[in-house]
Chains A and B, each alone.
Chain A
Amino acid sequence: MNLKELYQEIILEHGKNPRNLRKTEGFNKDAKGNNPLCGDNVHVYLKLNGQKIVEDASFEGSGCAISMASASIMTDLIKGKNEHEAKEIVEDFLGMIKENPELKSKYLNEDEKTKLMCLSGVKQYPMRVKCATLSWHTMVSAFDEKTEEVKTEN
């Protein structure tokens, strides 16, 4: 267990001042997610342009530092990616959060990888994994245009 690893400065900073905590104007994809155990909820908005590239991503919701930081970092780095790239990044991230020691996706640059790796501390806190993953599952659901709310079961 290592609290310092979990609550790194960058997570605290994103948790406190989340990027993209708003509703994208003219969004064309969105989905809601919630964590029934904690009552945390998130609403992810995406705006894809004609080339199916994410022009803007944002979210609304409330949650712990981990979930806010995760949604903040996610919405930041997903901009400029297309659906295929975004989904590969999601897979990569979920794999890292659960077991993989590092991120492999070619669609992530070093800076993005470093940021995301800050969230790897939750691995040691099984009850908190879903805090980190909720917004990511919700984003996939938005791409897939699922109307059902995402519920995290880790």
Chain B
Amino acid sequence: MNIDQIKKEFPIFDEKIQNNDLVYLDSANSSQKPKIVVDRINEFYTKQFSNVGRSVHYLAVAATNLYENTRSSVQKYINAKDKNEIVFTKGATEALNLVANTLGQSYLQEGDEVLITELEHHSNYVPWHFLRKSKNIKINFAEINEEGEITLEEIEKKITPKTKLISITHLSNVTGAILPVKEITQLAHSKGIIVVVDGCQGAPHLKLDMQDLGCDFYAISCHKMYGPTGLGVLYGKKKWLEELPPYQGGGGMINEVKKDRISYGELPNKYEAGTMATAQVIAFDQSIKFLESIGIENVMKHEADLVEYGQELLQKNNSVKLIGNPKNKGGVLSFTIEGVHPHDIATILDEDGVAIRAGHHCCQILHDKLNIPASARASVGIYNTKEDLDQLNESINNCKKIFNL
């Protein structure tokens, strides 16, 4: 695999960012886009545009087919059993809200418990908090260990007879810990507990096999997966998606509408009310093709090498403290520097063209637990190289110099 070649497929790396070559280490936030994805959006709007599923004219039929093609590609890519288990949403956030909302309407009852973890992104906590307010459910938190991991044992410990649902991240966007989702799912299912997975960080970096993983729902963020913004995917087991009520009402999701009664459409339309992010869905097919052309095994190998390299570099750098040290770790390096606030780190690194993120990364629960207000985070994607991490380290040294460390 030739990373230089792959990098060339991303037009942004031809740009000078404030006179610097871009060292993009913010892919956990959002990935850059390969040219084929950008071009596909342009091509669709300039040559093929029509709304989908509404009209019988040529363009509408063609657009509908393209839209449905992506659904099939996603199904194959994540090895879902059925095409109708793939629902498009505006992002992973909406996917998780959809799950919480519909389960709240028809499944979860007052007093039921939902188990999440201290690693969760706000979008896998706040939707459940809504149910805590409206339905009086209880939320329990599985706690991280010293390494910033969530173990199967910890999950087991936190399950009570009232636990109805477990909602967990596949890969932490702060500590990088990869959770044993398959084992957790097996355990949960043996106790009749539903499993929801926030797959935002898992989907771009790990091999996805829904039938093997076994979870009931899996939320994907397309913009972190070399795809367009404004798009997410919810995978849901067919039996759930058929059983649960609709989320939003409007055009496209209905079967029959009368003054005194309404019946809803079949899957997948049932969950895709209104005009969807058509161009993004169609372009996302190219993101999947891009990932398939490299091969997920190669992606995983490359990123594992990068993380190991970066981790070693930063461990050797005095006054840099890495957050978490999970055995099974994805491409995220979160750190603090004693005496320099993460925002100052990010501003100083930016001057060298090194783009990282500083803040709580939408994980305030975790930062409270770690007793730090914020952290700096470098995260990798397929286009990163060891040189990028060398530059990161060098810019960190410059930052220390400015702060007289």
Q: Which residues of A are in contact with B by a Cβ distance under 8 Å? A: 1, 3, 6-7, 12, 16, 37-41, 62-66, 68, 125, 127-128, 131
Stretch at the interface among B108-116, B198-206, B341-349: B341-349
The distance in angstroms between the C-alpha atoms of A65 and B399, with both chains bound, is 12
Q: How far is the CA of A125 from the CA of B348 in the complex (A)?
A: 11
Q: Are B359 and A37 in contact (CB under 8 A)?
A: yes
Q: Please measure, in the bound complex, the distance between the C-alpha atom of A37 and the C-alpha atom of B347, giving whole angstroms.
A: 15
- Bits for B334-357, please: 1 = Cβ < 8 Å to A, else 0: 000001111110011001000000
B interface bracket (residues with beta carbon within 8 Å of A): 20 to 34
Closest B residue, CB atoms, query A37: B359
Find A64's partner among B18, B344, B360, B367 (CB 8 Å cutoff): B344
Extra inter-chain contacts (10) besides given A38-B359, A39-B364, A65-B344, CB under 8 Å: A1-B18, A3-B347, A3-B351, A38-B358, A39-B359, A39-B360, A40-B373, A62-B373, A125-B347, A128-B343
**B residues within 8 A CB of A66?**
343-344
Q: Which residue of B lies closest to A41 (CB)?
A: B373
**Can you list 23 A-B pairs, Cβ within 8 angstroms, ordered by A?**
A1-B18, A1-B351, A3-B347, A6-B347, A7-B344, A7-B348, A12-B402, A12-B403, A16-B339, A38-B358, A38-B359, A38-B374, A39-B373, A39-B374, A40-B374, A62-B373, A63-B341, A63-B343, A64-B341, A65-B344, A66-B343, A66-B344, A125-B347
Task: Tell me if B404 counts as interface (CB < 8 A to partner A).
Answer: yes
Q: How far is the CB of A7 from chain B (nearest CB, A)?
A: 5
Question: In angstroms, how far is the closest chain A Cβ from the Cβ of B337?
Answer: 12
CA–CA, A37 and B361, complex, Å:
9
Cβ of A62: which chain B residues have Cβ within 8 Å of it?
373
With A38-B359, A39-B359 as known contacts, state yes or no: A65 contacts B341, CB within 8 Å.
Answer: yes
B residues sitting closer than 8 Å to A (CB atoms) are 18, 339-344, 347-348, 351, 358-360, 364, 367, 373-374, 402-404
Cβ–Cβ contact A128 & B360, under 8 A: no
Closest approach, in angstroms, between the C-beta of A64 and any C-beta of chain B? 4
Bound: A12/B403 CA distance, A: 7
Contact A128 B403 (CB under 8 A): no
Give the residue name and chain of the A residue nearest to B352 (CB).
A3
Give chain A nearest CB distance to B399 CB in angstroms: 9
**What is the bound-complex CA distance between A39 and B340, given in angstroms?**
15
Which residue of chain B is the closest to A3 with respect to CB atoms? B351
Most chain-A Cβ atoms within 10 A of its Cβ — which of B342, B343, B360, B374?
B343
Do B343 and A38 touch (CB < 8 A)? yes
B334 to chain A, nearest CB (A): 14
Contacts of B402 in A (CB 8 A): 3, 7, 12
Q: By CB atoms of chain A within 10 A, which of B364, B367, B373 has the most? A: B373
Q: Please give me the residue from chain B that is nearest to A13 by CB atom.
A: B404
Q: How far is the CB of A22 from chain B (nearest CB, A)?
A: 18
Do B404 and A131 have beta carbons less than 8 Å apart? Answer: no
Residues from chain A with Cβ under 8 Å of B339 in the complex: 16
Task: Report the separation of the CA atoms of residues A38 and B362 in the bound assembly, to the nearest whole angstrom.
Answer: 9
Q: Assuming A7-B402, A12-B404, is B344 touching A39 (CB within 8 A)? A: no
- Asked if residues A39 and B367 are in contact (CB atoms below 8 Å), the reply is yes
Q: Which residue of A lies closest to B18 (CB)?
A: A1
